[in-house]
Amino acid sequence: MPNDSLYTRRRVLGVTSSVAVVGLAGCSGGGSTDNPEGGDTTATPTEDHHDATDTESGHHEEEGDHDDGGHGHDEEIGDPTDTAEVAMLTADDGQHFEPHVVRVNIGGTVTFVNESGSHSTAAYHPDNDQPQLVPDGAQAWDSGLLSETGATFEHTFETEGVYHYYCAPHEALGMIGSVIVGEPDAHGQPALEDPPADKPDSVREKISELNEMCNDALGHTH
């Protein structure tokens, strides 16, 4: 009997030790990054994918924020009116005119309002030492620098056509806008030709965007 009891105890201890070894081996395998079926390894790619998705979503949201807020093709230009107002802004996403494109009747007046920062509005006109991006025979304008919040500048447009204008301190940053006067034919408008070759890429790209918006408003598609 003592022998049988000793044998039984040894057998139980042996089985217990085997179970412990298997359990430790399982824990070691689950924490190893070399084991593709380990719990941590499976969770890590899932978490990485989630982070990547969040990052990608955030990127698209940031791009959307930039496109929204009246900074591009989402603007509705509408029909000509007798008056229009353009805000000059310094915002988190840069400096810009808002809206980018307005449309007035022949003889209509545009009022530029400095809402934040220091800005100007000036026509792309030889009188301003700029290439002509206004109709033939159109008058130039240059407000000079407006630094006081609420300061305004008005210009009346007597010649039908498309006008591009810029902010002198921020032209290279893309602070450029357009005025459509009346119901002009898109063909033959100096403003709607290829952007001036001697301008920086940022200016050329912005003018190209404005050209597309103006052409769309005039029903001229290429």
The boundaries of the domain holding residue 149 are: 81-217
12 and 120 co-located in one domain: no
- Alpha-carbon span 61 to 25, nearest angstrom: 46
* Listed range (41-50, 109-118, 133-142) with the worst mean pLDDT: 41-50
CB atoms within 10 A of CB 141: 21
Average pLDDT score over residue span 34-59: 40
pLDDT in tens, 194-210: 999 999 999 999 999 99
Report the distance separating Cα 103 and Cα 82, nearest Å.
Answer: 9
143 and 97 together in one domain: yes
- Residue 137 confidence class, pLDDT cut points 50, 70, 90: very high
Per-residue pLDDT band at 184 (split at 50, 70, 90): very high
Q: What is the pLDDT of residues 50-85, one digit of tens each?
A: 344 343 334 333 333 333 344 555 788 989 999 999
Is there a domain that residue 151 lies in? yes
Residue 72 lies in a domain: no
In terms of domains, do 55 and 106 share one? Answer: no
Across the chain, what does the average pLDDT equal?
Answer: 78
Residues 55 and 88 in one domain: no
pLDDT at 94 over 50: yes
CATH code: domain of residue 89: 2.60.40.420
Out of 41, 67, 93, pick the residue that ends a domain.
67
Bigger pLDDT: 193 vs 45: 193
Stretch 13-34: mean pLDDT, rounded?
42
Same domain, 94 and 10: no
Domain count, the chain: 2
Q: Are residues 94 and 57 in the same domain?
A: no
Q: What single-letter DSSP state applies at residue 135?
A: -
Q: Which of 26-30, 96-100, 180-184 has the lowest mean pLDDT?
A: 26-30
* 5/220: higher pLDDT: 220
pTM for this one? Answer: 0.68
The amino acid that residue 189 corresponds to is Q
**Same domain (yes/no): 102, 200:** yes
Q: Looking at 22, 45, 67, which one is the last position of a domain?
A: 67
Do 49 and 100 belong to one domain?
no
Burial class (CB in 10 A: 0-12, 13-18, 19+), 108: buried
Closest CA to 185 of 164, 215, 208, 163: 215
Which secondary-structure segment (H or E) carries 156? strand 152-157
Are 167 and 144 within one domain? yes
